[in-house]
Homo-oligomer: A and B are copies of this chain.
C-alpha cells in the first residue's frame, strides 16, 4: 500500500471496551490511521475520546451524519477511507447505509444488523455501490483457524461428518443488567440488541466459525433456548442441533450463564479419517487427530514450514511468542485495508489468502439468529436456514 488507509469510527467512546479493541487492532500493523470519529451521541464524551486519541478536534464529531457529510467535503487525500461501526446492534444499519451511500467503505461489528431485513438492505447497497464491506467476526482472523480451513479444504479429514461448536461464557449468570453494567444492559435489551441476546452475541460467532472452517453451510436447525436469570428479557442460553449441506450433523452450544467460564469458544470437526480441534483460549495450537496416528499439535509460528501459506500470512511472530485476540482482529482490519487499497488503487491482492467476513456472512448470521429464536419458540421445531 502506498499510504496508510484512513479510518473513521462511529461508537467506541473511551469509557467502553470495544472501541479500544478496534483501535488497537487497527493500529497494530501501522497501515491504518484513525483520522476522525463520532465516538458517542454525547458530544462532550465524543470530544474527550477524540482528545485522548490525539485527534484533530475538528474531526471529532457528535453524530455519524455530520461526520460522513463533513468528511465527504474534505479533499480526497485527507478524508477517511472507511467507517468502522462499533455501536450496539440497533445502530449498525443507519450509519453503515449512510456511509455507503456517501461513498465510504464500511467495517461493521456483528451481528450485522437489527434484523434480516436491514441486513439484506445493506447487502443490496453494497452490491449497488461496489464498495468494500466487512463484518468483524474476528475469530476467523486467527491463523490456526485459517490453517484448520486449509486442512479441511485439502481433504485430509475426508468427508466431514460431525461438527461441535461450543461457546460457554458465564458473565450473565447474575442479573447484572439490573445493576447498570453497560454491556449487559444493551445486550439484554430487545430495543438495542434485537430478538436475541446470547445467540446474537456469541451463537453467531459459533455459526460463522463452523461454516468458515468447514466450508459447509447449515441448512436446518432445532434449538432449545432458555432465559435462566429471572427478569431478563432475552435468552441467555441455547442448545442447538444443526445439519449441514453435505449431510454432516452438529451441535452448537452457546451460553452466557455457564458460570465460571470466560470465553471458551471451541470447535471440533470430525471427518472420515480424522478430526481437528481449536480452542480460542489457546489460540496458537491446532490439534489434529487421526484414527491411526498419534495426535499432532500444530503450532502458530511465522516461519513454520508445516503450516499453509495462508496461516503464515496471518502470523507476526516466530513460534513460542504467543499471539492473541488483538492480532486476530488486526488480521481482519489489515485484510480489509488491503481490499480498500485494491478498490482505491486497482492494486491486486490475493483475496484467497487475505480474506475477511463480508456482508454475505453478515446476512447469513442474521438468518441463523432468527432461525434459532424461531425454533426455540416453537419447542425445537426444525427450521430451515435459507442460504
Residues of A within 8 A of B (CB): 3-4, 17, 20-21, 23-24, 27-30, 34, 53-54, 157, 161-162, 164, 166, 168-170, 173-174, 222, 224, 226, 228, 237, 239, 241, 243, 249-251, 253, 255, 257-264, 268, 270-275, 280-284, 288-299, 301-302, 305-306, 316-327, 379-380, 382
Contacts and interface: CB of A to CB of B under 8 A. Distances in A.
Contacts of A382: 379-380
A226 to B, nearest CB: 5
Contacts of A289: 170, 259-261
A306 B292 CA distance: 8
A83 to B, nearest CB: 18
Most chain B beta-carbon neighbours within 10 Å: one of A222, A292, A295: A295
Given A282-B322, A294-B306, 14 more contacts: A4-B54, A24-B28, A28-B28, A30-B54, A170-B289, A174-B272, A259-B271, A260-B270, A294-B299, A295-B296, A297-B297, A322-B322, A323-B324, A380-B382
Nearest to A23: B30
A157 B253 contact: no
Contacts of A302: 17
A17 B310 CA distance: 19
A24 B317 CA distance: 11
B291 A260 contact: yes
A319 B29 CA distance: 24
